[in-house]
Structure 1
Amino acid sequence: MARAAAVTPPARLPATGDRSGAVLARLQLMVTRKLDGLLQGDYAGLLPGPGSEAGESREYRPGDDVRRMDWPVTARTTMPHVRRTVADRELETWLAVDLSASQDFATAGPLKRDLVVAAAAALAHLTVRGGNRIGAVVGTGAGTPGQTGRWRGAPPVTGPGTMVRLPARSGRREAQGLLRAIAGTEIRPGRLDLGALVDMLNRPPRRRGVAAVISDFRAPPEQWGRQLRKLRVRHDVLAVEVVDPRELELPDVGVLPVVDPETGEVHEVQTADPRLRHRYAAATAAERAAVAAELRAAGAAHLRLRTDRDWLLDMVRFVAAQRHARTRGTTR
């Protein structure tokens, strides 16, 4: 299937099918060159920039987080004020990584799972500096009942079923080990309970930091929305949504066998029917809109990465927009 040529060549994502250290090294070099070249400065970074230590107060501006209202100053001045916060000098970041069977899919570029690993590498690069710690909870399909998830090269982990916790540690070497553990995940068939995966970031309670959920969000919002709102109470939350264009619309290619990677069900779809393609596009658009609405309701920042786009450029634009919003006094 032909694709329109991009104005600028997109960042080529190295395939991580072999999960080799050389592939991860090339990916890390790509992230470092792009992000260090365009985004400079520690602690004004990805999402947590304002930090959690109390600073000076200023007048409220539309878009400010009402949870930062400085009520004593507001009462004295009769004008609404918010409390500025100072960036913590040591940050803890946690990733919830969805590597269910639906991530082994792509029609326009790298596999969705490769994009998940790339997003995790970029987040690690943006946060693991100056003594900051990064950890992850990783989940895949149910697989064999009672079977424990195994990650090649991973440190000892705990967790029910195929959800495992990789402890938060500081240092680039530890971050590289974390990425190797994520990239070496054995994807199993079956559905992942995304709500339970997100809820693992709530236990045990931690001091305020950053929590990033990397998923295709194929599960209905009611299964994970409450857990995400609970997570947002204590942490700055980033939701990275990974999608493929064929999940949004069907091509006109005649009879198309379609397989659900999580259940193994096979259906034959007559894509030559324009009404069917229209209904499919409308249904998927409504589904994605429901996901975006749930993320907004939870107060999470939302970044969408597509397999047919330059994922690094999308991430750079997102980070730059986050920083620009904070310089104007807003939170999003």
Structure 2
Amino acid sequence: MQVKDIIKKVKQIEIRTKKKSEATLMGQYHSAFKGQGMTFSEVRPYQFGDEIRRIDWNKTARFREPFVKVMEEERELTMMLLVDISASMDYGTKTQLKREFVAEIAASVGFSAAGNNDKVGLILFADKVYKVIPPQKGRKHILAIISTILSAEYIPTESKFDVALQYMMSVFKKRSLVFLFSDFADEYDLKILRVASRKHQVLGMRIFDEKDAQIPDVGYTLFQDVETGKEIWANTSSARWRYDFAEKQKQKLKNLEDDFDKSAGKLLNINTGEDYSKVLYSYFKKK
């Protein structure tokens, strides 16, 4: 993608996603993710109904009347966007490639975070971590993240999201909200997913094309794995072969969903032709 095309695409994405984030997502995002805890705000005289445990005994003794500590929520969050740049993400049969769809969703949640004065960071990964943008605030920073996702060189190798999670845990110690974008086509270490989900709020964003699990009848055909280069011949005219392939994909998805559930994480499945804002709105509302 040429630089001028990237700039044009970024502007288009900003226009579309800012409307969605401001109209539907920002309020639900704020309600769903309430920050990291409570911090001291002020001391005021005791009022009927205040909790006894909030009494400031030192000030109460000094002024000989009860005072209580007022606490407020620590609103600021850190959002980390972990984006799979393996070759299978550079694919799509509808209006967008998976990578373009990811950039748009990342922009939408990123602008929601920016609207709440939260920091947003980016990690691009495939078989290893390829690029890191540390968390920062602001619109310009979100635009830089979108541009980075769109302009990344997508790698012909297997994807290892557990490697990205492990890296993030070693570098970013503060509890974060993690959006993990991938098609989850490859194997992973379940232990790392479990550890990461205990330390951070991990939301798996499975981005898929409807053709990922459906092979049409095109006769005896040579297939190549774009990530590993492995080739196989298959008789797609066989109804049994197509059925078995689809069933294997369903079972793989079920196993993935079970692993996220057991890890205290959450997995959302979003089709490249789907209105992702409705999926996110529903999740934020439930959250």
TM range (shorter): 0.7 to 0.9
Match of 1:116 among 102, 109, 114: 102
Could you say what secondary structure the match of 1:251 adopts? coil
> Structure 2: which 5+ residue stretches go unaligned?
40-52, 54-70
Give me the whole-angstrom Cα distance separating, in 2, the residues matched to 1:19 and 1:86. Answer: 45
> Structure 1: which 5+ residue stretches go unaligned?
1-14, 56-71, 73-84, 142-160, 327-332
Give me the whole-angstrom Cα distance separating, in 1, the residues matched to 2:167 and 2:203. Answer: 16
Q: Are positions 1:99 and 2:85 aligned together?
A: yes
Match of 1:176 among 143, 155, 175: 143
Kept after mapping to 1: 8 A contact 2:80/2:177: yes
1:72-108 C-alpha deviation (Å, 9 max, x unpaired): 9xxxxxxxxxxxx975321111111111011122223
Give me the whole-angstrom Cα distance separating, in 2, the residues matched to 1:103 and 1:43. Answer: 26
Q: CA deviation at 1:293?
A: 0.9
Percent identity between the aligned chains? 21
Residue in 2 that maps onto 1:165: 132
1:144-191 C-alpha deviation (Å, 9 max, x unpaired): xxxxxxxxxxxxxxxxx6522211111111121122122211112222
Match of 2:122 among 117, 136, 142: 136
Q: CA deviation at 1:264?
A: 1.8
Q: CA deviation at 1:18?
A: 7.0
Give me the whole-angstrom Cα distance separating, in 1, the residues matched to 2:4 and 2:197. Answer: 35
Rate the CA distance shift 1:170–1:256 in 2: closer, same or farther, 3 A: same
1:216-242 C-alpha deviation (Å, 9 max, x unpaired): 11122xx23222221222222111001
Runs (4 or more) in structure 1 with deviation over 4 Å come to 15-19
Kept after mapping to 2: 8 A contact 1:163/1:197: no
Q: Are positions 1:272 and 2:234 aligned together?
A: no
Residue in 2 that maps onto 1:318: 280
**Residue type matched to 2:92 in 1?**
A
**Backbone CA RMSD of aligned residues:** 2.6
Rate the CA distance shift 1:42–1:314 in 2: closer, same or farther, 3 A: closer
Kept after mapping to 1: 8 A contact 2:22/2:112: no
**Residue type matched to 1:318 in 2?**
L
Could you say what secondary structure the match of 1:165 adopts? strand
Give the alignment's TM-score, normalised by structure 2.
Answer: 0.80
Residue in 1 that maps onto 2:268: 303
Give me the whole-angstrom Cα distance separating, in 1, the residues matched to 2:123 and 2:279. Answer: 26
Q: CA deviation at 1:119?
A: 2.1
